[in-house]
A and B are shown apart, each in its own frame.
Chain A
Amino acid sequence: MKDVMVWIEQRDNRVMEVSLEMLQKATELAAVLGGNVSAVLIGNECRKLADEIIFYGASKVFLVEDPRLQLYQSDPYVRIAADVISEASPEIVLIGGTSIGMDIAPRVAARLRTGLTSHCVDLYIEKIEGKDQLIHIVPGWKGNMMIKIMCPECRPQMATVRPGVMEKGRSDSSRAGEIVSVIFDIIDDSFKAKTLEMVREGVEGRSLDDADIIVSGGYGFYSAGGFELVERLADVLNGEVAGTRPALDQGWIKEDRMIGQSGKTVKPILFVSIGASGAMHYTTGFSKSKVVVGIDRNPKAPIFDVADLGVVGNLEEIVPCLIEELKK
């Protein structure tokens, strides 16, 4: 089979943005393979989401609905996804790498005894020894080091991609597609890891996804005693505050502000990184920014490999001057 299937994640009966991004990538890959895009959607009373999934590229949506599947339940979700995939036999399966996507994808891959890559920054088809292979590009450990991976024999070839790394396409309401309702025999006993409730925790400020300007700080602020300078700079720029994992660990930012491979991928017009040396896991999170400024005390810091403008110096001197200059 030459089809590309996307596992669609819904929360509160809304399709997650990353699933739409996966549908676009699936469309590109299916075009090369000469196949179609299909999707599997699991939830409760979520049939109306199937239309949106079709408008964003799927020709066929496998729909599984049950009141018990309203929230993510790993056991039945994994079984259902694996069964639908086995039956449909797509060439490729894409899953958005949210924390739930990263929970279901590896178990489905293991169940199907197939290969899975994660945090892909690029996916394309290459003919190798006469066979169409999915090429998965994932970040290496430093600088611009990349790793090219394939899954030559096992099928489907599976990949997860972090939210915001790929682009979603445009919704086309003239697209037609098929919705296939699949009935599963769900035994209550099979909920050995049972999600009882989903709890939302407050999020302050604008989402980084919409920010035009982001000021991100790292461990270098330890000597400054905290993030006050980052916040003041972000304020004068009318931008958003973000940070690295060390900044999260220090309690200067919350999880939703952490930039990087396991955090957020952002594409602002301006990204200012201060006091962060520029480890790969961090820089991969903002590589698509239009303009990148790096400020660090270490002239050899890898941040300068991925910046347009660089400043070597003491952030406690540089940042206040920058704030003053911007106020003019």
Chain B
Amino acid sequence: MLNIIVCIKQVPDPEHFDKISIDPRTGSIRREGIPSITNPLDRNAIEEALRKREKFGGMVTVLTMGPPQARKSIEDALAMGADKGLILCDAAFAGADTLSTARVLSVGIRSLGDFNLILCGNETVDGATGHVAAQLAEFLDIPHVTFARRIDVVDEKTVMVERNIENGYLKVEVKLPAVISVVKSINKYRLPTVMGIMEASEKEIIETGCSVCESFGLTESEIGFEGSPTKVLEVFESPQRRTVEMVKGNPEEIARKLVRRLHELEGL
């Protein structure tokens, strides 16, 4: 029996990143009208949790810290087959960097009681730092492994993990409870079925805010923007270093001109 928690994040859809703009007045990012998705690697994490539950029994709880619309990601996860959801949503959580996020997530996890394993995607498509798994483990005082491409359960107390390194992997024996972040090659995630979507509406989603922090001794200065050691100073467009010269004509003409220009530019 394995009690697994999966941390997920709702992110702007990368297909629409080209629509992100900077507000010239405030210098901040404008994301309006950009659709959101569940971070793809988090879906691999949910899939891994579901497979472990199928094999060993237990429960899969999904957890997210986000704005109200992040609920959709929890619902999608429940439709994939997760049992229960928890949303940490509060204006006070906004503006969090990875450290501040990991702190809040750790408190949310503690509010769920005992667990064997925490899974998450190795990095998000937006921030892409890959920090949260290791930082979460530090705040929970449990071991962590990142870049996991394979997880084999030995028993309720131990898993064997293969984690990617450049041109190879490390074989790591991990004592549970632990945090493991996964890479894409770990599995191919399932899509929610119609049945799954219907069943999801019957499942429990808990919504909580700052109050969970208070009950675990986390103060306002440790969460959200205030609790973030790193601060964004500015978002800017760096000057374009290259001006493109378009090569036109029919394919043969293009090929000729391209090769000539490459010789002239000393690319060849």
Known: A106-B130, A145-B20, A293-B262. A309 touches B184 (CB 8 A): no
Interface mask (B143-156 → A, CB under 8 Å = 1, otherwise 0): 11111000000000
Determine whether B232 belongs to the interface, using a CB cutoff of 8 Å to chain A.
yes
Q: Which residues of B contact A117 (CB under 8 A)?
A: 129, 230
Determine whether B110 belongs to the interface, using a CB cutoff of 8 Å to chain A.
no
Give the residues from 52 to 103 in chain B that come closer than 8 angstroms, CB to CB, to chain A. 97-99, 102
Give the residues from 169 to 214 in chain A that come closer than 8 angstroms, CB to CB, to chain B. 192-201, 203, 213
Determine whether B32 belongs to the interface, using a CB cutoff of 8 Å to chain A.
no
Interface size on B, residues (CB 8 A): 78
In the complex, are the beta carbons of B267 and A270 less than 8 A apart?
Answer: yes
Q: Which of A25-33, A45-53, A224-232, A298-306 contacts B (4 or more CB under 8 A)?
A: A298-306
In the complex, are the beta carbons of B131 and A109 less than 8 A apart?
Answer: yes
Minimum Cβ distance to chain A for residue B130 (Å):
5
Interface centre among B18, B133, B184, B241 (most CB of A within 10 A): B18
Q: Which residues of A contact B128 (CB under 8 A)?
A: 118-119, 261-262, 281
Return the contact of B251 from the options A192, A193, A318 (Cβ within 8 A): A318
Known: A291-B262, A304-B244, A308-B242. A193 touches B143 (CB 8 A): yes
In the complex, are the beta carbons of A140 and B230 less than 8 A apart?
Answer: no
Give the residues from 111 to 139 in chain B that come closer than 8 angstroms, CB to CB, to chain A. 123, 125-126, 128-135, 137-139
**From DSSP, what is the main secondary structure of chain B's interface residues?**
mixed
In the complex, are the beta carbons of A74 and B258 less than 8 A apart?
Answer: no
C-alpha spacing A259/B132, complex, angstroms: 24
Interface mask (A304-325 → B, CB under 8 Å = 1, otherwise 0): 1111111111000110111011
C-alpha spacing A75/B251, complex, angstroms: 58
In the complex, are the beta carbons of A118 and B168 less than 8 A apart?
Answer: no
Determine whether A154 belongs to the interface, using a CB cutoff of 8 Å to chain B.
yes
In the complex, are the beta carbons of A118 and B262 less than 8 A apart?
Answer: no
Return the contact of B229 from the options A154, A261, A294, A322 (Cβ within 8 A): A154
In the complex, are the beta carbons of A99 and B164 less than 8 A apart?
Answer: yes
Known: A143-B237, A146-B236, A193-B145. A326 touches B259 (CB 8 A): yes
In the complex, are the beta carbons of A106 and B98 less than 8 A apart?
Answer: yes
In the complex, are the beta carbons of B241 and A287 less than 8 A apart?
Answer: yes
C-alpha spacing A212/B241, complex, angstroms: 21
C-alpha spacing A262/B183, complex, angstroms: 11
**From DSSP, what is the main secondary structure of chain A's interface residues?**
mixed
Q: Which residues of A contact B144 (CB under 8 A)?
A: 74, 103, 107, 193
In the complex, are the beta carbons of B255 and A318 less than 8 A apart?
Answer: yes
By beta carbon, the residue of chain A nearest B261 is A309
Determine whether A116 belongs to the interface, using a CB cutoff of 8 Å to chain B.
yes
In the complex, are the beta carbons of A145 and B236 less than 8 A apart?
Answer: yes
Return the contact of A146 from the options B131, B137, B230, B235 (Cβ within 8 A): B235
Determine whether B239 belongs to the interface, using a CB cutoff of 8 Å to chain A.
yes
By beta carbon, the residue of chain A nearest B34 is A141
C-alpha spacing A199/B171, complex, angstroms: 8
Q: Which residues of A contact B6 (CB under 8 A)?
A: none
Determine whether B49 belongs to the interface, using a CB cutoff of 8 Å to chain A.
no
In the complex, are the beta carbons of A310 and B245 less than 8 A apart?
Answer: yes
C-alpha spacing A104/B246, complex, angstroms: 45
C-alpha spacing A14/B13, complex, angstroms: 40
Determine whether A151 belongs to the interface, using a CB cutoff of 8 Å to chain B.
yes
Q: Which residues of A contact B254 (CB under 8 A)?
A: 311, 313, 318, 321-322
C-alpha spacing A270/B161, complex, angstroms: 39
Interface size on A, residues (CB 8 A): 90
Interface mask (B163-176 → A, CB under 8 Å = 1, otherwise 0): 11111111111110
In the complex, are the beta carbons of B232 and A153 less than 8 A apart?
Answer: no
Known: A140-B235, A152-B231. A196 touches B172 (CB 8 A): yes
Minimum Cβ distance to chain B for residue A13 (Å):
16
Q: Which residues of B contact A326 (CB under 8 A)?
A: 259
Determine whether A147 belongs to the interface, using a CB cutoff of 8 Å to chain B.
yes
Known: A151-B229, A293-B267. A111 touches B138 (CB 8 A): yes
Determine whether B268 belongs to the interface, using a CB cutoff of 8 Å to chain A.
yes
C-alpha spacing A293/B267, complex, angstroms: 10
In the complex, are the beta carbons of A308 and B245 less than 8 A apart?
Answer: yes
C-alpha spacing A143/B244, complex, angstroms: 13
In the complex, are the beta carbons of A279 and B244 less than 8 A apart?
Answer: no
Determine whether A88 belongs to the interface, using a CB cutoff of 8 Å to chain B.
no
8 interchain residue pairs of minimum CB distance: A115-B229, A291-B267, A106-B131, A115-B230, A192-B143, A110-B138, A321-B255, A325-B255
Q: Could you tell me which B residues sit within 8 Å of A by CB distance?
A: 12, 14, 17-18, 20, 22, 97-99, 102, 123, 125-126, 128-135, 137-139, 142-147, 161, 163-175, 178, 184, 228-242, 244-247, 251-252, 254-256, 258-259, 261-262, 265-268
Taking A306-B242, A308-B265 as given, write out 16 further A-B residue pairs in contact, using a Cβ cutoff of 8 Å, ordered by the A residue number.
A106-B98, A106-B133, A109-B135, A114-B99, A146-B237, A151-B230, A152-B231, A192-B175, A193-B178, A196-B172, A256-B167, A292-B242, A305-B244, A309-B245, A311-B254, A311-B258
